[in-house]
Amino acid sequence: MHKTLVGMCLVGLLIVGGCSSKDDSSSTATPAAACQSIVQEACSKFFGCFTKEQLTALAGTVGNNEADCRDKFEQAQCSAQMLKCDSGMSYSQSKASECLSQFKALSCAEFGNGTSPAACDAVCQ
């Protein structure tokens, strides 16, 4: 899971030169739910913060709309293999919830500058 969260942030950093969702516990109850929430928020930020020109340039990575973006990122980031924590570590729902809250609170400027919430690095403990 840690790899997925960091991967989503890295995807954003690579794309814009940025790094997900409901704050309720159901959105982070499992690593898969947290991944889907992260993807949903990331795609919402891309399509809510970026200009049409930026989105056109990034269409190969983020897709043509939010639904396409979610499909692309979920396929790439939310597989069972990507959701595993490293050996000796386990998923922390509370840190995942904190990560989502911090990510959701990012402004468009922060998202575009690649700001990554600190809690996202602690989802696997």
For the stretch 65-80, pLDDT in tens is 999 999 999 999 999 8
Residues 71 and 8: their CA atoms lie apart, in Å, by 14
113 within some domain = yes
Question: 23 pLDDT band (50/70/90 cuts)?
Answer: very low
**Across residues 70-95, what is the average pLDDT?**
93
Please report whether residue 86 resides in a domain.
Answer: yes
The answer on pLDDT for 18 being more than 90 is: no
Q: How many domains does the chain have?
A: 1
What does pTM read for this prediction? Answer: 0.79
What is the residue range of 115's domain?
Answer: 2-14+28-120
User: What is the rounded CA–CA span in Å between residue 125 and residue 108?
Assistant: 29
**8 lies in some domain:** yes
Q: Which residues of 66-99 are buried (b: 16+ CB within 10 A; e: fewer)?
A: beebbebbbeebbeeebbbbeeeeebbbebbbbb
Domain presence at residue 53 = yes
Does some domain include residue 22? no
The stretch 74-89 carries a mean pLDDT of 92
